[in-house]
């Protein structure tokens, strides 16, 4: 059941998008997010959706897999739509007691839903096509200028990569512990909220114990290899731009320009 | 308990889908002692988790006492009390402040009253040979072997008819390993409990199991008495499994012209055979 969550997961595949430099993908995602909020008409959204569609096709990640990742955020999406629909004042289309649906509300709700869907799909495409290690590497390089104002960029990046690395491990561990307790008759799915919260104790205690043990082991292993932070540390595989990365940069900036043009012209 | 054409596929719709179980058909009778053997990742853990309804098969039928365990109205929680599964690492299940409370967890979940729960916990801890004076110490401070005893007791306290142990000897020293195996064999002989012992080491199961099931890449490769299974030396080695070390010694002896039985699997049998051989030569 826990394995179903696909947001932030890496999907291993050989594709142009997978091979792009992580810095390009980070910048592109940022530009893409800006562009979603730049466009404000139907043709604009169609343009963004088309761009996203091409990227998904290029990445060779199955559409089914991406849609599955959208499922957990569906509730947030529905709440957003409902609030926008019911609470935006304007020309009233339908009314029942205190609930009113206005034309403006409907439009705002639809826009919001569209934007959120594009946003989540786009950013999950980045995590689906980039390994966590590459991602933090890229982030570390992009944020490097901040070291001049004493921001510990390397340490932050290291913490992030460790945290990301541990997500699948802890998920798997949670799965095993749940099963081990279910084998002893534990019930995680029924009962009222207090009963359920209490039922989590047999799950959380072993999970915490193991997380601390793993953290301890990791710290020991890092010290045994003389890890001492980022100063003067070199990379085994330094990030290097290739031809396709420059092309990607050109494409993404052209895309933003296109979005701006669509907003001004239409 | 029977399994009919059970298939299990993990992550079915992706490019990393794993066909963990392929068309498994199995019949487990009361009072059997089964060794389930296979290389790491061959699907043995997946298989045993099907037996008490922790994993739902992608396809196929599992019955307990003639009833489909995914049929309407079947109580899987009760099933887990009857088919006890001890996981590989005790760290995955120990959580209470003291050992006794932890062993009480299983029977409490079965809905028994306090008195019965404590009685069962006491019996279970006794059955695994856990010392009385440590009943109220923290389960996190015990040695590896003791933790494993507590974990087994935690399942035993539910009084299962079938006891499945997933790699119960992993990470134990030779003495602890011997103790745990002796304990399991005693549970089998004294309480007539059906035992399924999962392992990747032939040495563990050879001396105890009366039936060996060898798994390879999600299917059952052999299902027979140990001596018969061990005849397929080449095939077993190709699966990344080895015969018990004793059997290798006996085979070497035979190859060097000594007249011994080369299908022996336990140290005791081998010692007897060699002593007999020695006596017959020197008399």
Contact present, B270 and B259 (Cβ < 8 Å) = no
User: pTM above 0.95?
Assistant: no
Longest dimension (CA), chain A: 69
| A10 to chain B: closest CA residue | B16
CB contact under 8 A, B95 and A206: yes
Chain B positions touching A201 (Cβ under 8 A) are 95
With a cut of 70, say whether residue A8 has pLDDT above it. Answer: no
Count of other CB atoms within 10 angstroms of residue B246: 21
Tell me how far the alpha carbon of residue B249 is from its chain's centroid: 26
Distance, in Å, from the CA atom of B140 to the CA atom of A212, rounded to the nearest integer, reads 13
CB contact under 8 A, A62 and B154: no
- Please report the ipTM that was assigned to this predicted complex: 0.87
Interface test mutation site (partner B, options A176, A180, A187, max chain B beta carbons within 10 A): A180
Contact present, A105 and A90 (Cβ < 8 Å) = yes
Which domains are seen in chain B, by residue range? 31-50+76-226 (3.40.50.300), 244-283 (no CATH)
Q: Specify the pLDDT at position B208.
A: 86
Distance, in Å, from the CA atom of B12 to the CA atom of B21, rounded to the nearest integer, reads 13
Distance, in Å, from the CA atom of B159 to the CA atom of A199, rounded to the nearest integer, reads 22
CB contact under 8 A, A185 and B155: no
Distance, in Å, from the CA atom of B125 to the CA atom of B137, rounded to the nearest integer, reads 13
Interface test mutation site (partner B, options A4, A185, A209, max chain B beta carbons within 10 A): A185
Query: What confidence tens digit (pLDDT) does each residue in A96-146 have?
Result: 777 777 888 888 888 888 999 999 899 889 988 998 888 888 999 999 899
Tokens 């609470």 correspond to A87
How many A×B Cβ pairs under 8 Å? 71
Query: What confidence tens digit (pLDDT) does each residue in B134-168 have?
Result: 999 999 999 888 999 999 999 999 999 999 999 99
Helical ranges in B42-198 per DSSP H = 44-51, 76-82, 99-109, 114-127, 144-156, 174-191
- Whether residue A150 lies within 8 A of chain B, CB to CB, comes out as no
Q: Report the b/e string of A116-142 with b at 16+ CB within 10 A.
A: bbbbbbbbbbbbbbbebebbbbbbbbb
Per-residue pLDDT of chain B (283 residues; tens, 9 = 90+): 889 888 888 877 666 788 889 899 999 999 999 999 988 888 898 999 999 989 889 888 999 988 899 888 888 888 999 999 999 999 999 999 999 999 999 999 999 999 999 999 999 999 998 999 999 999 999 988 899 999 999 999 999 999 999 999 888 888 888 889 999 999 999 888 999 999 888 888 888 888 999 999 999 999 998 888 888 888 888 888 888 888 888 888 888 888 888 878 788 888 988 898 888 888 7
Contact present, B106 and B157 (Cβ < 8 Å) = yes
User: A42-59 and A22-38 helices cross at what angle (nearest 10)?
Assistant: 160
Helical ranges in chain B per DSSP H = 44-51, 76-82, 99-109, 114-127, 144-156, 174-191, 202-206, 226-229, 233-238, 245-255, 267-281
CA distance to partner chain B, nearest, from residue A254 (Å):
33
CA distance to partner chain A, nearest, from residue B114 (Å):
16
Q: Which two tokens stand for residue B70?
A: 């995914």
Domain residue ranges of chain A, discontinuous segments joined by +? 1-130+239-266, 152-235
């Amino acid at each position: 059941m826990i394995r179903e969550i696909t947001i932030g997961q890496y999907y291993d595949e050989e594709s142009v998008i997978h091979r792009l430099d992580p810095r390009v993908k980070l910048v592109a995602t940022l530009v893409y997010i800006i562009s979603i909020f730049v466009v404000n008409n139907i043709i604009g959204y169609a343009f963004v959706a088309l761009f996203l569609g091409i990227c998904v096709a290029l990445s060779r990640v199955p559409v089914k897999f991406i849609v599955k990742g959208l499922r957990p955020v569906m509730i947030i999406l529905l709440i957003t739509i409902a609030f926008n629909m019911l609470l935006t004042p304007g020309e009233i289309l339908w009314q029942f007691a205190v609930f009113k649906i206005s034309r403006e509300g409907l439009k705002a709700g639809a826009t919001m839903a569209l934007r959120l869907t594009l946003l989540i799909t786009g950013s999950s495409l980045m995590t689906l096509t980039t390994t966590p290690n590459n991602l933090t590497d890229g982030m570390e390089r992009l944020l490097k200028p901040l070291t001049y104002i004493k921001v510990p960029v390397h340490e932050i990046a290291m913490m992030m990569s460790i945290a990301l690395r541990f997500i699948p491990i802890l998920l798997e561990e949670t799965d095993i512990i749940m099963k081990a307790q279910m084998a002893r008759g534990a019930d995680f799915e029924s009962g009222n909220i207090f009963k359920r919260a209490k039922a989590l104790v047999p799950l959380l205690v072993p999970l915490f114990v193991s997380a601390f043990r793993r953290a301890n082991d990791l710290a020991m292993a890092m010290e045994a290899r003389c890890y001492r932070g980022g100063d003067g540390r070199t990379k085994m595989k330094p990030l290097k731009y290739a031809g396709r990365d420059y092309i990607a940069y050109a494409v993404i900036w052209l895309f933003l320009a296109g979005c701006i043009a669509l907003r001004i012209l239409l | 308990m029977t399994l009919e054409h059970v298939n299990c596929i993990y992550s079915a719709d992706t490019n990393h889908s794993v066909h963990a179980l392929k068309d498994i058909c199995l019949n487990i009778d009361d009072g059997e002692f089964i060794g389930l053997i296979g290389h790491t990742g061959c699907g043995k853990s997946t298989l045993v988790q099907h037996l008490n309804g922790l994993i739902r098969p992608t396809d196929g039928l599992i019955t307990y006492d003639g009833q489909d365990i995914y049929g309407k109205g079947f109580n899987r929680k009760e099933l887990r009390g009857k088919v006890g599964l001890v996981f590989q690492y005790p760290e995955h299940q120990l959580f209470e402040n003291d050992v006794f409370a932890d062993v009480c967890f299983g029977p409490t979940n079965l809905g028994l009253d306090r008195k019965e729960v404590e009685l069962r916990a006491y019996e279970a801890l006794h059955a695994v040979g856990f010392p009385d004076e440590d009943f109220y110490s923290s389960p996190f401070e015990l040695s590896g072997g003791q933790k494993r005893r507590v974990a087994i007791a935690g399942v035993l306290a539910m009084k299962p008819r079938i006891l499945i142990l997933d790699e119960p000897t992993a990470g134990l020293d030779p003495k602890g390993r011997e103790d745990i195996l002796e304990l399991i064999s005693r549970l089998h002989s004294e309480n007539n409990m059906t035992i399924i012992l999962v392992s990747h080491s032939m040495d563990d199961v050879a001396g105890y199991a009366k039936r060996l099931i060898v798994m390879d890449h999600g299917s059952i490769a052999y299902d027979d008495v140990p001596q018969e299974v061990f005849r397929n030396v080449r095939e077993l080695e190709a699966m990344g499994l080895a015969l018990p070390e004793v059997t290798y010694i006996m085979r070497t002896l035979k190859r060097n012209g000594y007249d011994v039985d080369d299908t022996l699997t336990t140290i005791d049998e081998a010692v007897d055979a060699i002593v007999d051989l020695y006596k017959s030569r020197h008399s």
